[in-house]
Amino acid sequence: MRVKVSRQAHFNAAHRLYRADWSFEKNQEIFGLCNNPNYHGHNYELIVSVTGEIDPITGYVMDMKVLKDLIKSEVENAFDHKNLNLEVPEFKEMNPTAENIAVVIYHKLRPHIEADKDIEVVLYETPRNFVTYSGN
């Protein structure tokens, strides 16, 4: 009986989408408003899901409190109220698109969750734009 347990969290951050090796015009053409050199920002909503067997002793796949604390220590502390380009090492050389942020979050969480459990990361950049990554 594999069940998926999901926990929603959130963080606020500033970012800019661009490539340092492109001209401003080329960045503007590809990234439009998101290329603002002064940055813009989002309230990111994050849903982390962990799929595994229900522990017959506790009835839990994973204690939601543990999952909540793990998201806090690994993701919120690293990203919340930060400038993703300037203050998060993973994005020093990688564009902080929603896709790339989701992949980074996946890899920050993966070592802390047992290997026989699957992880899925859903990241809302806005209420109408979101991405999903499951490690495949």
Note the residues at the interface with its own copies (CB under 8 A): 1-10, 12-15, 17, 19, 30-34, 36, 38-43, 45, 49, 54, 57-61, 63-65, 80-83, 86-87, 94-100, 102-103, 126-133, 136
- Cα separation, 134 vs 20, in Å, equals 29
**Among 29, 40, 81, 112, the one annotated catalytic:** 81
Q: Are 84 and 91 in contact (CB under 8 A)?
A: yes
Please name the residues in contact with 86: beta carbons below 8 A apart, sequence gap of 6 or more.
none
**Among 34, 87, 107, 120, the one annotated catalytic:** 34
Report the candidate in 124, 134, 128, 109 with the shortest Cα–Cα distance to residue 12: 124
Q: Based on CB atoms, which residue is closest to its own copies, 11 or 74?
A: 11
Q: Is 40 a catalytic residue?
A: no
Q: Is 34 a catalytic residue?
A: yes
- Cα separation, 123 vs 46, in Å, equals 5
CB of 112 to its own copies, least distance (A): 19
Q: Is 81 a catalytic residue?
A: yes
Catalytic residue numbers, as ranges = 34, 81, 125
